[in-house]
Structure 1
Amino acid sequence: MSSRSRITPTVYVSVDIEADGPIPGPYSMVSFGAAVAGRHDSAGFRRAEPLGFYQELRPISERYDPEALAVSGLDRAALLRDGAEPAVAMREFCDWLEEIRVDEAGRRYRPVMVGYPAPYDWLFLYWYLVNFTGTSPFGHSGCLDVKTLYAARAGVPFAGIGKRSMPAELLPDLPHTHHGLDDAREQAVLFANLMEWRAG
């Protein structure tokens, strides 16, 4: 059996979260956005139309760091009043993932979350999914860090990598606004550019 015949079709989903503190549970994810970055199967990688999902969430605790919350520009009182219930939002996100994992030909793809950098976003997203739905459509390890991918593709040390250190042709012509959906779409383009990039 060839290695190509063992490939699991994958849909890459760029996710960006905003939170009011460093860890989930004591602190809250206040918003998150997701955008389809591309599909990867035996035919190779293909960037996708960046279909998106976005939610602002009701905080789950009384604790918050005002500086962390200020990054998102969201108002805590408005979130407490109008934010989506986390359990509802995470179920709706799972439903959205079910829709986008099927392509036009009806083929099913396994979702993998991508982020820049991924650890913080993954920490909150995975915790919220498991805590509020009992499961994660990404499994427990379906996460890909764009900074790590760049380090491997470029052959450079991970320490010190930033967008300013990347070649200009990789960088999206999109603003970084700290709005979950805007930033998820920006990351989706960066990831797709990197997947298509020939270093050197």
Structure 2
Amino acid sequence: MPEKQRLTPTVYVSVDIEADGPIPGPYSMVSLGAVTAGWHDADGFRRADGKQGFYRELRPISEQWDPQALAVSGLDRTALLRDGTDPAAAMRAFTDWVERLRTGPDGRRYRPVMVGYPAPYDWLFLSWYLVRFTGGSPFGHSGCLDVKTLYAARAGVPLASVGKRSMARGLLPDLPHTHHALDDAREQAVLFANVWEWDGVSRSG
């Protein structure tokens, strides 16, 4: 095991985004929700209470959009064009929020890592928006953890077989999946903490 002094303390940030299409640029991120999911250092993992949250609805960046994709979030495009936060302002505010998380509740410095389920779609939009509108990301180029992959490794099953319905009993949060970005980020944070703390054996029934 690495020496304790060489471990990099990490703060996990559960992020959920809603978008109006499959890729950023031609399509837009329409909402962003995030909560603190937990801290990990030489003393182990500690889950957060999910109360530290961030949420913005964003103004679309293009004329192209998929009505079916937008319908998932329940957001109205006309309202977003009128009242949505400017993407650059939203990304600056999000970066400032994440930077504040670097100072943990114990006063120590933590490196932020984004958590998602599944992470690739949310990471794609989030990373693109952060680099496009702020010039960089507080998560760097690779500070991302996919809960689906984490579960597959813990359970010892192929990744392609993993879905929430196939997960071990007791891991799924007793929270609704509403497709509201902040609600889903909170649900995801609990799922992440449950999987992280799961030993992969004793609760696998």
**Considering the TM-score relative to the shorter chain, is it more than 0.5?**
yes
C-alpha RMSD over aligned residues: 1.0
Q: What displacement does 1:143 show?
A: 0.4
2:81 equivalent in structure 1: 80
Q: What displacement does 1:76 show?
A: 0.0
Q: Percent identity?
A: 77
User: Which structure 1 residue ranges, 5 or more long, are not aligned?
Assistant: none
1:17 aligns with 2:14: no
Q: Matched residue of 2:137: which SS?
A: coil
Q: What displacement does 1:98 show?
A: 1.4
TM-score (norm 2): 0.95
One-letter amino acid of the structure 1 residue matched with residue 122 of structure 2: D
Which deviates further from its counterpart, 98-107 or 152-161?
A: 98-107
- In the alignment, the residues of structure 2 paired with residue 195 and residue 160 of structure 1 have an alpha-carbon distance, to the nearest angstrom, of 19
Q: Matched residue of 1:169: which SS?
A: coil
Deviations 1:47-96 (A, max 9, x none): 01211100000000000000000000000000000000000000000111
Which consecutive aligned stretches of 4+ in structure 1 deviate over 6 angstroms post-superposition?
A: none
1:171 aligns with 2:172: yes
Change (3 A) 1:73 1:2: closer
Q: What displacement does 1:103 show?
A: 1.5
1:125 aligns with 2:114: no
Which deviates further from its counterpart, 1-10 or 11-20?
A: 1-10
Q: What displacement does 1:2 show?
A: 4.1
- In the alignment, the residues of structure 1 paired with residue 137 and residue 109 of structure 2 have an alpha-carbon distance, to the nearest angstrom, of 17
Query: Any residues of structure 2 matched to 1:2-151 within 5 Å, and which?
Result: 2-50=2-50, 51-151=52-152
1:188 equivalent in structure 2: 189
Q: What displacement does 1:156 show?
A: 0.4
Deviations 1:178-200 (A, max 9, x none): 00000000000000011111111
Q: What displacement does 1:159 show?
A: 0.6
Q: Matched residue of 2:25: which SS?
A: coil
Q: What displacement does 1:4 show?
A: 2.6
User: Which structure 2 residue ranges, 5 or more long, are not aligned?
Assistant: none
Q: Matched residue of 1:94: which SS?
A: helix
One-letter amino acid of the structure 2 residue matched with residue 41 of structure 1: D
Q: What displacement does 1:20 show?
A: 0.2
Deviations 1:7-41 (A, max 9, x none): 10000000000000000000000001001100000
- In the alignment, the residues of structure 1 paired with residue 106 and residue 29 of structure 2 have an alpha-carbon distance, to the nearest angstrom, of 35
Q: Matched residue of 2:160: which SS?
A: coil
